[in-house]
Amino acid sequence: MIDEQTDKKPNSFWRELPILLGVAVLVAVLVRAFVLQTFYIPSPSMEHTLDIDDRVLVNKVVYHFRSPDRGEIIVFKAPAEWSSNPNGEDFIKRVIGVGGDRVQCCDPEERLIINGQPLDEPYIFSEGGIQDPAAVGPFDITVPSGRLWVMGDHRSASGDSLEHWDRTGEIDIATISEDWVVGRAFTVFWPIDRATWLTVPEPFDSVPAS
């Protein structure tokens, strides 16, 4: 039996290094394009769930297999009516209502009502422990099929579904298409002292189907 061994020529590592680097770059590009992507938070619209300059990791695969759920934090391509940037930009908000949901404001405790169920929202930005009542005025809408009603956790500082509903009264402008969703933000990874998982708050579990 002949013992065959790979005979590497001297300095072969340095000749192979550009190929290895090229493969690594290609893998990184593919992962960023199709699997995971990092985003930074440029505005206060999701305080204090997400603060300015937080970095989040976004799963770009999950919504190829299912639709977004209530309570999830999503990144999406902003509709033209939502953005002053002609090149488009990414927004990050929380899904409050999905297709078929009736979303109303508010009950006597200033809580949103989804399909008849008042929603406790411990994550919303508050001053002195209570939400500013002026941040959310009365409304009563039904989310069209295939679209999402999204809101920021800092309601008075968020350009979201409510703002565009108040401005236009057009439900197709106030909601976003599921096709515009880039992915689900599932963790804050920077800064280290704010690292956390972005899970769906428990109160959404009690919301009935539409």
Cα 148 to chain centroid distance, Å, stands at 12
Q: Is the dihedral of CA 126, 128, 129, 134 positive or negative?
A: negative
**d(Cα 132, Cα 110) in Å, to the nearest integer?**
9
Nearest by Cα to 155 from 184, 191, 183, 130? 130
Catalytic residue among 60, 93, 158, 161: 93
Catalytic residue among 45, 60, 158, 161: 45
The identity of residue 188, as a single letter, is V
Would residue 60 show up in a list of annotated catalytic residues for this protein?
no
Helices (H), the chain: 12-34, 161-168, 171-174
**d(Cα 122, Cα 124) in Å, to the nearest integer?**
6
**d(Cα 160, Cα 172) in Å, to the nearest integer?**
13
The CA distances from residue 203 to 101, 145, 199, in Å, are: 16, 23, 12
The identity of residue 4, as a single letter, is E
Would residue 45 show up in a list of annotated catalytic residues for this protein?
yes
Residues annotated catalytic, as ranges: 45, 93
